[in-house]
């Protein structure tokens, strides 16, 4: 028969193994609302990274590498960098227009919007807007491309001709703006004017002007299911939620230096990417927005893109002491 002491050691070791297995099965990483799935390196990219866009059919993401005067083209299916489009002029906004298979790139330094075919990425034209071409939005419903630029304007481009067909005047430079496809209204962040303006996308007429009591309202998204406008102030860092007619609904503290936020309609969540080095995850419970996680990324990683069709959150990470420039791919859980 085994010695009693030896039996105790064997039983204790077995219990420790079981306990360790149970702990591993229920680790904090497993319970996190986002799981880091991949880091896709962007090559020798220096400086600030701005906005992202997606070609869902090809599963390719476009990365506006502002500080590098380039746009990276990343294959999400293979987790590889396909190519880099160089020779740009501080690219800020990017957008993929599927009906004409065209990539739009808005450049801050020279105010141009440049067009590339989205197969081989050859340059096929450009429009000059004058200065500070910024965010690009694709309005698939109305078949148009809208670009924010200058000291206060939205340029409306016709994808079929790639020409400017309308200019919507604003009181200040537009940062993030969102299009409501059901009504055609455009909600525009004007941080220099401490306001959100609402315009009729068809006529360009201003419908409303919401005064903001906090500073630096750069990021914005729409919750179409709940008919809400979500934005984030940078000073102080705060998530603010409004109805689409401007009535305040909720506020919640969030991480600093935000540039993007998105609603995950399937899970009733909000993802907020912060240059302070985090992604905040909020749970929507009626009119309450409860933060359920603050996940570390890297300093300066404030730009992101949530792709519902692929169920992934993409975060752009710039080159730093923490590592090379990359797209971090997060899978929402469960």
Share of the chain above pLDDT 90, in %: 90
Q: 29: pLDDT confidence band, cut at 50, 70 and 90?
A: low
Q: Is residue 131 part of a domain?
A: yes
The DSSP bridge pattern shows strands 34-41 and 326-332 to be: antiparallel
Helix (H, G, I), strand (E, B) or coil at 99: coil
56 in Cβ contact with 309 (< 8 Å)? yes
Residue 266 domain-assigned (yes or no): yes
Please report the pLDDT score of residue 116 as a whole number: 98
Q: What is the pLDDT of residues 214-237, one digit of tens each?
A: 999 999 999 999 999 999 999 999
Rounded average pLDDT over 51-70 = 98
Q: Which of 155, 171, 187 is where one domain is finished? A: 171
The domain spanning residue 78 has which CATH number?
2.130.10.10
Q: Quick one: 243 and 140 in the same domain?
A: no
Pull the structure tokens for residue 198: 């609402």
| 55 and 106 inside one domain | yes
Q: Work out the pLDDT band at 25, boundaries 50, 70, 90.
A: very low
- Angstrom CA distances, 251 to 257, 269, 282, stand at 17, 15, 11
Number of domains in the chain: 2
Report, as an integer, the average pLDDT of 29-44.
Answer: 93
* Tens-digit pLDDT profile for residues 118-164: 999 999 999 999 999 999 999 999 999 999 999 999 999 999 999 99
Residue 306 sits in the same domain as residue 232 = yes
CA distance 314 to 300: 14
- 151 and 257 share a domain? no
Q: Are residues 166 and 241 in the same domain?
A: no
pLDDT at 87 over 70: yes
Say whether both 87 and 117 belong to one domain.
yes
Q: If DSSP codes are grouped into helix, strand and coil, which group holds residue 175?
A: coil
Question: What pLDDT is recorded for position 136?
Answer: 98
Confidence of residue 28 (pLDDT cuts 50, 70, 90): low
In a shared domain, residues 333 and 249: yes
* pLDDT of 14: 41
DSSP bridge partners of 285: 288
Whether 21 maps to a domain, the answer reads no
pLDDT of residue 235: 92
Same domain, yes or no, for 38 and 66? no
Asked if 180 and 244 count as a contact pair (C-beta separation under 8 A), the reply is yes
Residue 118 lies in a domain: yes
At 267, is the pLDDT very low, low, confident or very high (cuts 50, 70, 90)?
A: very high
Looking at the predicted structure, is the pLDDT value of residue 23 above 60? no
- Which of 151, 171, 191 is the endpoint of a domain? 171
Asked whether residue 264 is domain-assigned, the answer is yes
Average pLDDT over residues 188-206: 97
Q: Where does a domain end: 171, 204, 225?
A: 171
What confidence score (pLDDT) does residue 35 get? 98
182-193 tens-digit pLDDT:
999 999 999 999
Domain coverage including residue 87: 49-171
Same domain flag for 166 and 234? no
3-class state of residue 298 by DSSP: coil
103 and 161 part of one domain:
yes
Q: Using CA atoms, how far apart are residues 84 and 73, in angstroms rounded to an integer?
A: 6
- Helices and strands per DSSP (H, E), number in the chain: 2, 28
Is residue 104, in this structure, part of any structural domain at all? yes
Count other C-beta atoms under 10 Å from residue 296's C-beta: 10
Pairwise CA distance, residues 41 & 6, whole Å = 52
What is the separation of C-alpha 3 from the centre of its chain, rounded to a whole number of angstroms? 64
Which H or E element spans position 191? none
Q: Is the pLDDT of residue 326 over 80?
A: yes
- The residue with greater pLDDT, 283 or 23, is 283
Cα(first)–Cα(last) distance of the chain, in Å?
Answer: 49
* 143 and 217 part of one domain: no
Return d(Cα 174, Cα 290) in angstroms, integer. Answer: 29
For the ranges 15-19, 54-58, 215-219, the lowest mean pLDDT is seen at 15-19
Centroid of chain to Cα 125: 26
Does 83 fall in a domain?
yes
17 phi, psi to nearest 5 deg? -65, -45
pLDDT at 21: 37
- Specify whether 237 is located in the same domain as 297: yes
d(CA 83, CA 129): 27
pLDDT at 322: 82
The answer to whether residue 17 is domain-embedded is no
The per-residue pLDDT for 2 is 44
User: What percent of the chain lies above the pLDDT cut of 70?
Assistant: 91
Confidence tier at 3 by pLDDT (50, 70, 90): very low
Is the pLDDT at 12 greater than 60? The verdict is: no
With a CB cutoff of 8 Å and minimum separation 6, the contacts of 12 are: none
């Amino acid at each position: 028969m085994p010695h009693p002491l030896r039996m105790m050691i064997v039983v204790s070791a077995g219990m420790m193994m079981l306990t360790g297995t149970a702990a591993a099965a229920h680790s904090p990483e497993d319970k996190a609302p986002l799981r880091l799935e991949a880091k896709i390196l962007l090559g020798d990219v220096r400086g600030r990274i701005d906005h992202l866009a997606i070609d869902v059919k090809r599963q390719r993401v476009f990365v506006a590498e502002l500080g590098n005067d380039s746009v990276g083209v990343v294959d999400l299916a293979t987790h590889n960098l396909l190519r880099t489009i160089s020779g740009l002029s501080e690219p800020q906004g990017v957008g993929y227009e599927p009906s004409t298979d065209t990539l739009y790139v808005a450049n801050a330094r020279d105010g141009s919007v440049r067009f590339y075919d989205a197969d081989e990425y050859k340059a096929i034209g450009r429009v000059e807007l004058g200065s500070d071409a910024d965010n690009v939005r694709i309005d698939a419903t109305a078949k148009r491309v809208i670009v924010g630029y200058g000291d206060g304007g939205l340029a409306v481009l016709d994808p079929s001709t790639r020409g400017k067909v309308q200019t919507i005047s604003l009181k200040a430079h537009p940062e993030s703006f969102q299009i409501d496809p059901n009504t055609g209204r455009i909600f525009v962040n004007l941080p220099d004017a401490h306001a959100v303006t609402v315009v009729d996308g068809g006529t360009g007429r201003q419908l409303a002007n919401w005064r903001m009591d906090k500073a630096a309202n750069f990021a914005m998204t729409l919750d179409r299911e709940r008919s809400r406008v979500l934005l984030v102030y940078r000073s102080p860092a705060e998530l603010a939620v409004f109805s689409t007619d401007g009535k305040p609904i909720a506020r919640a503290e969030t991480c600093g230096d935000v540039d993007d936020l998105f609603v995950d309609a399937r899970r009733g969540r909000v993802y907020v990417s912060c240059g302070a080095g985090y992604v905040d995850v909020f749970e929507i419970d009626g009119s309450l927005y409860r933060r359920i996680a603050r996940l570390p990324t890297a300093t300066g990683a404030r730009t992101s893109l949530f792709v519902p069709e692929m169920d992934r959150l993409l975060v752009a990470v710039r080159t730093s002491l923490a590592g090379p420039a990359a797209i971090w791919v997060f899978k929402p859980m469960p």
